[in-house]
Structure 1
Amino acid sequence: MRKIQLLILLGFFSQMVYAQVKPTDELYKTAKKLDSLIFDIGFNKCDLSHYDSIVSDDLEFYHDKGGITSGKEAFTASIKNNICGNPNKVRRELVPNSMKVYPLYNNKVLYAFIQEGEHDFAELDKGKWNKGSRAKFTILWILDGKDWKMKRVLSYDHHL
């Protein structure tokens, strides 16, 4: 009986090794940088020049209000036309302390990670930022060679 208890305990602790990473971890810092490239630089400042290197060609983006966007080209066009080309500009901000990062391993080799969190959106109206909605998101980042690529995105639970 003690051996079974020990095996269960060891199994539990081995799972904890691969649980959420701390904000001081390099993978967390990588996720924070990628988040900034997608949203702070791309979404907020409309500089989409780096999307080609960090968005997977076969991206799938699932949005609870806007439906499905398939592929890098469609995603980039959507940001360009709906966010950057819209006279009512939208800004996205990551909710402080909401981001979590979970590494994914195959035979103890890191191949992907899941980033989840919450973000707030504000709309520019007559020169003033008005509070918009808050939503949850989950992003699957895949290691493609030496580059991280945004592969699957869920954006959901949008509410005022």
Structure 2
Amino acid sequence: MRKIQILLLLIVSQFAYSQVKNADELYKTAKKLDSLIFDVGFNKCDLSHYDSLISDDLEFYHDKGGITSGKQAFTASIKNNICGGPNKVKRELVPNSMKVYPLYNNNVLYAFIQEGEHDFAEFYKGKWNKGSRAKFTILWILDGKEWKMKRVLSYNHHL
């Protein structure tokens, strides 16, 4: 009987802390942060807000490009490779692919996991050319009152 009670508690707790709904405030926060990192930073090359959004000890794992460690290295990589390269690259979040999972410690939100898929395109010879699609997972940590991008996985890049 005790095992059944524990099992039921585990099942119920999974529902309490599972993926948030699209209308949830945390989902909206994740969508806004995603837009600041990618739409503003990556696509428009405005990196001015990266200092407040990216953890100093960021770890970015890419299945094609290896590991980037630290905020400075990540920002320089975007600046030099995405914004400073001969061909502009843009990223678009695949509609309805983003999911957000809150992380709690003693019922206090301290982080969330954002996962989804994104498409890339390259501007070459006067037009946008479809690039790869990839999956991503981002760990966002609450640092004081600010969300910081702490760990990133970018993987399964394919055409």
Shorter-chain TM-score tier: over 0.9
Q: Indicate yes or no: 2:81 matched with 1:82.
A: yes
Q: Name the residue aligned to 1:25.
A: 24
**3-state SS of the aligned residue for 1:35?**
helix
* Mapped partners of 2:143, 2:52: distance in 1: 10
* Mapped partners of 1:67, 1:104: distance in 2: 27
**3-state SS of the aligned residue for 1:37?**
helix
* Mapped partners of 2:6, 2:62: distance in 1: 42
* Mapped partners of 1:126, 1:30: distance in 2: 37
Q: Name the residue aligned to 1:157.
A: 156
Q: Name the residue aligned to 2:106.
A: 107
1:1-160 correspondence to structure 2 within 5 Å:
1=1, 4-160=3-159
- The Cα shift of 1:7 comes to 3.9
> TM-score normalised to the size of structure 1?
0.96
* Mapped partners of 1:59, 1:146: distance in 2: 18
- Unaligned 5+ runs, structure 2: none
What is the RMSD of the two structures over their aligned residues, measured on CA atoms?
Answer: 0.9
**3-state SS of the aligned residue for 2:79?**
helix
- Unaligned 5+ runs, structure 1: none
- The Cα shift of 1:11 comes to 2.5
> TM-score normalised to the size of structure 2?
0.97
**3-state SS of the aligned residue for 1:28?**
helix
Letter in 1 for 2:68: T
Q: Deviations over 1:86-144 (max 9, x none)?
A: 12100000000000000000111000000000000000011100000000000000000
Q: How many residues align?
A: 159
- Identity in percent: 84
Letter in 1 for 2:133: R
* Mapped partners of 2:75, 2:24: distance in 1: 30
Poorly superposed stretches of 4+, deviation over 6 Å? none
